[in-house]
Structures are given as C-alpha cells and as structure tokens.
C-alpha cells in the first residue's frame, strides 16, 4: 500500500507547489509509504508518491511515480491487483511490441496497471480486480484519470485550489498541506457526523470543498483546461459482469470466497490476519491457514484485539479466538486495550488523521495494527464486508421489518432506516447544534437518505420489497465507511489491510441472492443472519462459531467515556457548534449520554488539531 498525491495548475502555468510544501505533503503521507518517496512533474502537473513495498520490494524500477519507457504515461498507484498474473500474461505480447522486445521491467503490479491503462485507456478498469486509488497521466492527450476501486477499499480525495487548479491525495490531512487549499469545516457534514458518526457522506467530507472520489468511479481531468476539474466518465455498474457462475448455492458462495482469500494471500512480504472469534474472521483465517499448510509455509499469524478492565479480560471474543487459533495451528497474539491505553490511543489516532473517529473500536484496530507492524508483518487479512454483503445485522433488520409490517407506519421507510441506523436522531439535532442551521441540516440529511433509499429500491429490482431495499441501502451506507476505517487504522502503521469479503465478484454474487439466502426467519420478527455463509462453511468450522450470534467489540465505553467528557467543555470549536445545554448534560452524566459524549469529544479534538494549533510535526497549510 502507498500514499498518492498530485497537483494540477491551469494550462500554461507551472504546478506551483514549492519544495517546502511538497515536503510537508509527502511527510503527511509517509506512514502510508515508509519505504520510499518519489515525484514527477511536467508543465502544470505534479505527481507524488510514498511507497510501502509489498510486491517486488527490492526493485528500484518499481519506485513510483512509474512511467512507460518513452515517458508518455505516468502513474501513481495505491493498491493491490489480485489478478496481476493473469492480466500481465494477457498484456505481455503488446508490451513486448511497445517496448521493442524489452517487456515488463518489474514484477510489481503497479507496472501491470500502468501498461493496462497505457494500452487500453479507460476500458482497462473493467479488467482490474483489486483495491486501488490511482492517478494516470497521458502526456500526449493531456488528460489525467483519477480512479478508485468499486468498493472504496482505498481512499482518494480531491479539492479545487484557490488559483484555479486542483489537487488530490490519499488523505485529507495530506491534501490540506497544499498551500492553496483553504481549511474550513463543512457545516452540513458536522451535523451529519453528529447524527451518523460517519466522516464521509457520499462524496462530502468534514472539510468544505474536499471531495471523496466515489467508489467505482473514473474521473477525467483535462490538463489543457484553464480550470481543470475532475469529471466522472465511468461508474461502478461494471460489477455485475464479474461473476460467471449464476448459482446462488452455498457451494458457489464458498468457492468465490475461497478464491478471494487465495488471491489476497499473494505477497512478497509476511501476511497475517485479524481473528476476533466470530464467523467472518474464522472463515478467512481457516482458509488462509489451510492454504499456507498446503504450500508448506510457516503457520499463519493471527491477532485479536481485547478489552481489559480492572485486570480482567472482557467479552467472549478472545477465548473463542484463542481456541480457534489452536484448532487451525496459527501463532496467536492478543492485544489488550484498557482505559488508559484507550484514551491515549484515541487522542493519538485523531491527531494523526485530522478527523474524528467513527466508533470507539477504531482505537483497538489501530493498537492491533501497531503490534502487527512491530512483529514484522506488513499485510493483514480482515473480515470487513461480510455483514454488509450477507446480511449480518439481524437486530436492525427486525426493527425495520416490524416497522414495514405496520398498517400505517408513523414515518416512511427511508426515514425510519435513518433513525435506527443513527447515533442521534435527526429530529433531536436542533437540541444539540447551535443556531438555526440544525433544522436545515436535519432536513437535508433526511432528503439525502430518502434519495439513497429510492436508488437502493431501484437497484434491488422491480419486485423488491422495502426489506430488500433496506439491505442494499445498509450495504451502500455502511461498507465504504467501514473500509475507510480499516484503511485509516492499518495504514497508520504501514500495514496493508486486505478484505477478501469486500471483493467485486463476492459483492456481485451477494447482490443476486434472495432474501431467504441471507436470513432465516425463526419466529415472528426474529432472524438468523448470514444464513448462506453459515451453510457454506459449516463443514470446516466449529459449531460454536458457526451458530454464534453477532457480537460487538466488548469495549465498556459507557464507563470509559468520562475520560473524554471534560475535553468538550473547554473547546472553542465545540462552543461554536454545540449548544451549552448539550455539553453540560454530557459533562454531568457521560455514561448515560455516552454516544453524544463520544461525538462531541471527537469534534473537540478534531477542531483543536485541524483548525487550532497544528498537530506535532505537521504545520498548518498557509
């Protein structure tokens, strides 16, 4: 994995990023790529890259930005191509011809992507299977493509610059080091964060004018323009073409997931896995451990995050994970987080991201990632995506089903979905935010959610029920933020997080499944989740894992939230956005109002880091 950056000035001007600013930008991306840095510029275009060497790590020719030999095409790429071997074999005859018989210079997947785009242009994206965020420049046609993988595993943001150009980067923190990008909070996104705890909604971020490239999008930038801006030229509709097998059986499900795991085990550096003791991580680690044993490789290393309080381990996850690790023969490590470590880790992670956190367990994921890096592994498999693709949220579904079955429901399906999936009700936002903006922001949020629900209903098909639309919307709204959360926590320590469930072909398969394949109706209003996954892997997993209900990470945040509450009371940023009565209620009883305590404390630290005094080691952009 890597960090990417680029800046485009108006045609006829130089890119205009001074050496000191470029150094700040690359330094802000160095955690994503600690193994090397590189830049390339031509006229009004500048590309920058920081490399985490996972494929062909010793090859100097694999350094980025990577160019075709004649210099016409340049690429910066953050990702992993899982069909690299097949695509490279298909391209090789044409590459040999284009290079006068020299062919590929490296074994790195970035060069495969470079040549695919150089030879086939935008059509090449239909042939890429993997996770990526990239920028590709064609000097001759004076165009640049920005692209992000169809599920949004890898992040990519962009912004206009004050002198009429544009810039992009892997993370907002790096992008905001650009000397001509102003740093302001996005008012509506502050309200959306207070409701949903999400850092992004659609293409909007918490920074005004900083846009996230939508998953599955290809954006074209005209480099000869007097006002270069990305324009979308392709979306993620190509997903449906990725699966040849039309069967919806458990056997077909198992084959697809096993294929995804095997593809994501390919690496020139050590690979390990997160293991929580639940169904999703058990599937991945069992398949990975079996494959390593088949190859005669060392045992798989597995890692489990655990919460400690008063010297006691909390929750059933760690013992389940240890027992399963013994069964599959993995070398297993527990990473403990107590209250003091949580509070320290929370502050460290927010200061690093320049963004508030979505959920408290982000701190535990980051702590585990740090331990993995210290142990020498650079790639980690993780189970994100299984719940969103295969229906893992049975309690939310039950509430939605009960609402849908009412003869006269009090509010529409889309609004009810927003209510049950939010941390704070949109209707209560006027009691939390200052000024008259709360009602406007709440109305805008409801309107956006209703439009998203309408699109989900259309995508689910003409005969789909509200329940089908609910499942699709939940996947659309939840999956990308979950993947972005994993990326932020793992890349904080230079770990490439890979997510075999969040694979294009697995997604296309899951989207075709009927409701009955994902949920087993056990009683009125009671559902057993991920039915097809349990059936597909029952023969290779212990019954206590297969039949175990979904459980959240057992962090006692209600009790630990008191350590955050005092931060909000003295924060100028919170005073600007949050009503004093809401702050006082949190300070008086943080355990009772722990969700609001979490959101407000994160905004307080976010405001301090991003808009107040700069975090240590990174200056605020001019």
Gap between the terminal Cα atoms of the chain: 29
- Does residue 109 have a known ligand-binding role? yes
Q: How many Cβ atoms are within 10 Å of 357's Cβ, its own excluded?
A: 25
CA dist., res. 611 & res. 622, Å (int): 12
Catalytic positions are 2
Using CB atoms within 10 Å of the CB of residue 227, give its burial: 0 to 12 exposed, 13 to 18 middle, 19+ buried: exposed
Using CB atoms within 10 Å of the CB of residue 153, give its burial: 0 to 12 exposed, 13 to 18 middle, 19+ buried: buried
Using alpha carbons, list the distances in angstroms from residue 289 to 185, 206, 281, 483. Answer: 45, 40, 12, 23
> At residue 154, what are phi and psi to the nearest 5 degrees?
-105, 135
Using CB atoms within 10 Å of the CB of residue 406, give its burial: 0 to 12 exposed, 13 to 18 middle, 19+ buried: exposed
Three-state SS for 517-566 is HHCEEEECCEEECCHHHHHHHHHHCCHHHHCCCCCCCCCCHHHHCHHHHH
Who's near 577: CB < 8 A, 6+ residues apart?
A: 190, 433, 434, 603
Let me know how long the chain is. Answer: 622
- Would you state the structure tokens that stand for residue 89, as one six-digit string? 């074999």
> At residue 312, what are phi and psi to the nearest 5 degrees?
-115, 140
Three-state SS for 295-349 is HCCCCCEEEEEEEEECCEECCCHHHHHHHHHHHHCCEEEEEEECHHHHHHHHHHH
- Does residue 35 have a known ligand-binding role? no
**In terms of DSSP H, where are the helices of 461-514?**
466-491, 504-512
- Does residue 382 have a known ligand-binding role? yes
- Would you state the structure tokens that stand for residue 315, as one six-digit string? 């929750």
Using alpha carbons, list the distances in angstroms from residue 79 to 131, 135, 428. Answer: 5, 12, 41
**Omega before residue 65 within 30° of 0, cis:** yes
Q: What angle do CA 470, 285, 278 make, to 5 degrees?
A: 50
Residue ranges of the binding site for ATP: 382-383
Residue ranges of the binding site for L-glutamine: 109
Residue ranges of the binding site: 109, 382-383
């Amino acid at each position: 994995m890597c960090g990417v950056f680029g800046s485009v000035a108006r045609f006829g001007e130089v890119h205009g990023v001074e050496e000191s600013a470029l150094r700040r930008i690359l330094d802000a991306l160095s955690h994503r790529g600690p193994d090397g840095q590189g830049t390339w510029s031509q006229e009004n275009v500048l590309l920058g890259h920081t490399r985490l060497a996972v494929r062909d790590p010793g090859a100097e020719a694999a350094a980025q930005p990577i160019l075709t030999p004649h210099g016409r095409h340049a690429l910066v790429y953050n990702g992993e191509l899982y069909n690299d071997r097949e695509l490279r074999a298909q391209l090789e005859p044409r590459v040999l011809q284009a290079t006068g018989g020299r062919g590929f210079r490296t074994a790195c997947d970035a060069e495969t992507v470079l040549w695919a785009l150089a030879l086939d242009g935008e059509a090449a994206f239909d042939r890429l299977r993997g996770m990526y965020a990239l920028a590709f420049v064609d000097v001759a046609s004076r165009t640049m493509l920005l692209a992000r993988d169809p599920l949004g595993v890898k992040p990519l943001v962009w912004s206009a610059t004050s002198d009429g150009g544009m810039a992009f980067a892997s993370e907002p923190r790096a992008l905001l080091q650009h000397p001509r990008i102003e740093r302001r909070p996005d008012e509506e996104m502050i309200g959306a964060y207070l409701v949903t705890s999400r850092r992004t909604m659609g293409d909007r971020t918490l920074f005004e004018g900083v846009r996230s490239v939508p998953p599955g999008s290809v954006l074209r930038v005209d480099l000869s323009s007097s006002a270069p801006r990305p324009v979308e030229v392709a979306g993620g509709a190509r997903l449906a073409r990725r699966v040849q097998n039309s069967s919806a059986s458990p056997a077909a499900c198992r084959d697809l997931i096993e294929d995804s795991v095997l593809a994501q085990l390919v690496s020139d550096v050590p690979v390990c896995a997160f293991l929580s003791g639940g169904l999703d991580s058990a599937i991945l680690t069992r398949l990975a451990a079996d494959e390593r044993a088949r190859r005669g490789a060392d045992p798989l290393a597995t890692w489990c995050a655990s919460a400690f309080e008063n010297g006691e381990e909390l929750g059933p996850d760690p013992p389940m994970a240890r027992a399963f690790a013994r069964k599959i023969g993995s070398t297993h490590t527990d990473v403990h987080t107590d209250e003091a470590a949580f509070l320290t880790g929370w502050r460290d992670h927010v200061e690093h991201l320049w963004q508030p956190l979505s959920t408290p367990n982000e701190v535990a994921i980051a702590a585990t990632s740090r331990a993995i890096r210290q142990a020498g592994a650079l790639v980690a498999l993780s189970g994100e995506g299984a719940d969103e693709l295969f229906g893992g949220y049975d309690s939310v579904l039950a509430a939605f089903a009960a609402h849908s079955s009412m003869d006269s429901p009090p509010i529409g399906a889309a609004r009810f979905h927003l209510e049950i999936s939010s941390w704070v009700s949109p209707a209560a936002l006027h009691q939390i935010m200052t000024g008259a903006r709360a009602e406007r922001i709440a109305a805008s949020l409801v309107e956006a959610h209703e439009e998203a629900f309408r699109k989900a209903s259309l995508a689910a098909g003409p005969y789909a029920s509200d329940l089908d639309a609910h499942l699709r919307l939940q996947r659309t709204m939840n999956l990308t933020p979950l993947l972005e959360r994993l990326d932020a926590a793992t890349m904080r320590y230079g770990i490439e997080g890979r997510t075999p469930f969040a694979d294009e072909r697995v997604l296309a398969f899951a989207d075709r499944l009927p409701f009955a394949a994902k949920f087993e109706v056990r009683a009125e209003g009671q559902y057993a989740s991920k039915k097809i996954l349990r059936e597909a892997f029952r023969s290779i997993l212990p019954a206590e894992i297969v039949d175990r209900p979904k459980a959240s990470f057992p962090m006692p945040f209600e009790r630990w939230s008191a350590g955050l509450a005092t931060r909000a009371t003295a924060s100028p940023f919170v005073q600007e956005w949050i009503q004093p009565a809401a702050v006082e209620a949190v300070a008086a009883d943080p355990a009772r109002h722990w969700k609001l305590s979490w959101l407000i404390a994160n905004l307080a630290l976010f405001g301090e880091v991003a808009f107040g005094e700069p975090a240590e080691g990174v200056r605020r952009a001019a």
